[in-house]
Amino acid sequence: MTTIEIDPDGTPSIDGVDVDPGTVADIRKFETQLARYLDGEIDEDVFKVFRLANGIYGQRQGGHNQMVRIKAPYGAILPHQLEKMAELSERYSRGWGHLTTRQNVQFHFVQLEQVPELLWELAAVGMTTREACSDTVRNVMGCHLAGACPHEVLDIQPWAEATFRHFLRNPVSQRLPRKFKINFSGCVTDCGQAMFNDVGVVAVTRTVPEGEDGAGGTEAGFRVFVAGGLGANPHPALALEDFTPREELLPTLEACVRVFEQAGNRNNKLRARMKWLVDELGFEELQRRILVSRKFLLASSSWPGGIPAQVTEWGDAPAGTGTGPVTTMGQGTPVFLTGTTGFQRWEQANVVRGVAKGTVSALAWSRLGDVTAEQFRGLAAVAREFDAEVRITNRQNFVLRGLTDDQLPDLFARLEALGMAQPGAELARDVVACPGADTCNLAVTQSRGLASAIGEALEAAGLAEVDGVRTNISGCTNSCGQHHIADIGFFGAERRAHGKSAPGYQLLLGGYVGQEQARFGRKALRLPAKAAPQAVVRVVGRYAQERQYGEAFGDWLERSGGAEGVAEGLKDLDEFPEPEVNPDYYVDYDETGPYEAVVGDSECAV
């Protein structure tokens, strides 16, 4: 058992490091309830809800195999925490971890009996799994370039931190009707992808009229969007009001959570997200309830009004633009690769410039979001040596911030040695996928295997460095891989051909998020899993060949007849050969036996 020391001021510590008392209480409770569960004193369904609230998720392999989800609010992670990730991956998992589209770190195949020990390891470096799963306010996301972006209106990092702290263990958010997701972006470019969350916060400005004293100008604040979501039925988020002042932001967020807690559907988990309240109540009524709740929240003991302490302490002034060139940001951003060396091409694709204080940021590419123990340690060493900040991106990569131009050649060499220096940012090779049937109970296809096959097919066709096109894959309709908002999206589905089951996918085209809008991909056609890589090669190849200078994928798609028009050129791929002719079509990626769609109990909806 881990020894907790109590400092003179009453703060608990592990090995001389102060630990959050709430985290200590969480782990002590987990130890107690796990022992009771293993002794048969707690029912399976009750313990399931308990462990999910602590970020521990069952795997399709059954038994005591668990996925542990570790929260990294707005993607922030420190060098000693990266080193801890390396240790955990080797001691408890498979020697590598996985970055998620919601800026978490996941480890799979952790044995249930070892979970408390792992939680103590996390506590010692200031990290938690608390409320990373279950019907709670999940990991608070934020733009990975916040505080280092030349376009931002406000640095949203302290706001995301304040939101994370406010809702962690907050009684109002412990047993919600369903999960609740909050996301921050520092400007309307929306690199943080605020537009498909239960609450999305975008920093904006408004014009302040001149008063009698002649004062006027602009005021920075927020536009809060509500009731967005993906899943099988995607909904774009809607603006709650034109402008929310800074001192009203946290009360607004709590009012959103309270209304959801009160009005969310507790009888049908399939219709229990915030987005369904728009259908059930109408947006005007939902809006009215939130604003009324905010108005009277002043009377609550949990009223979080005013400027949060984190914002006062850290400051939220934008990074500002410098005098040199400013890197364009956002989905569909053109990337012009004219360099002849590996370093030049990496610099053109993966480096962001334009901050007033003269620093630059550089992306470290993680194939499929997987990070080995060696890579975790290598990034920690790089962050220390280069005095850089590290953030996890929502496309399953890392970004190092606070760099100088002089450091870039050495950084490239270090990343190249780690296998993380390929130009991937906003290029076709940066394929995003959920864990799929590798570990998830709900997935019907091996989405990771397809992602790998697509990457290999693009490389072989010389199309991996085509810019401005994103491919996202989910192993089922639930959109953990965010297929709806990708230029090219896939979700897994069982197919039947020649009397046999076979792995298949639905192809969607034209998804987009940015500029305060979410446009969801439209269905093109269904495909055998083994034909999907060739479909991507054809679509990316057509786009590269036919687009006009700087033309975005969505604009090219519309010129080409939309999803339906492009699908016409792919129909020959939707054919299953006889099993005797090509049995490979009836075996999923990374599998050895015949395909079978096995779906377990959904812990997503517990």
Burial of 450 (0-12, 13-18, 19+ CB in 10 A): buried
pLDDT of residue 7: 77
Q: Which domains does the chain have, with CATH numbers?
A: 5-123 (3.90.480.20), 153-314 (3.30.413.10), 342-417 (3.10.28), 432-586 (3.30.413.10)
Express each pLDDT in 362-416 by its tens digit: 999 999 999 999 999 999 999 999 999 999 999 999 999 999 999 999 999 999 9
Residue 513's H or E segment, with its range, is strand 512-514
- Segment 432-452, tens digit of pLDDT: 999 999 999 899 999 999 999
240 and 221 Cβ atoms separated by less than 8 Å: no
DSSP run (H or E) holding 457:
helix 447-460
> Within 10 A of 52 (CB to CB), how many other CB atoms are there?
22
Separation CA 472–CA 512 (nearest Å) = 12
Beta pairing partners, 166: none
DSSP 31: H
- DSSP letter at 426 equals T
pLDDT of residue 557: 98
Burial class (CB in 10 A: 0-12, 13-18, 19+), 383: buried
d(CA 590, CA 420): 23
- Phi and psi at residue 481, in whole multiples of 5°? -85, 0
pLDDT of the residue at 213: 58
Instruction: Report d(CA 172, CA 174) in Å as an integer.
Output: 6
pLDDT at 599: 82
Count CB-CB contacts under 10 A for residue 22: 12
Task: Output the pLDDT for position 536.
Answer: 98
> pTM of the prediction?
0.95
Residue 432, beta-bridge partner list: 472
Q: What is the pLDDT of residues 13-50, one digit of tens each?
A: 887 788 899 999 999 999 999 999 999 999 999 999 99
Distance set, CA 357 to CA 159, 384, 494 (Å): 21, 20, 52
Max CA pair span of the chain: 85
Provide block-wise average pLDDT over 10 residues at a time, the chain (606 residues). Answer: 73 82 96 98 96 95 94 98 98 97 98 98 96 97 97 98 98 96 98 96 92 75 97 95 98 98 95 96 98 96 94 97 90 91 96 93 96 98 98 97 97 98 91 94 95 98 96 96 98 96 98 96 98 98 95 97 98 97 96 88 63
What per-residue confidence (pLDDT) applies to 212? 55
CB-CB neighbours of 309 under 10 Å = 12
* Burial bucket for residue 112 (CB in 10 Å: 0-12, 13-18, 19+): middle
Angle between helix 532-546 and 447-460 (nearest 10) = 40
Would you state the structure tokens that stand for residue 567, as one six-digit string?
């699908």
Identify the CA nearest to 187 among candidates 200, 203, 207.
203
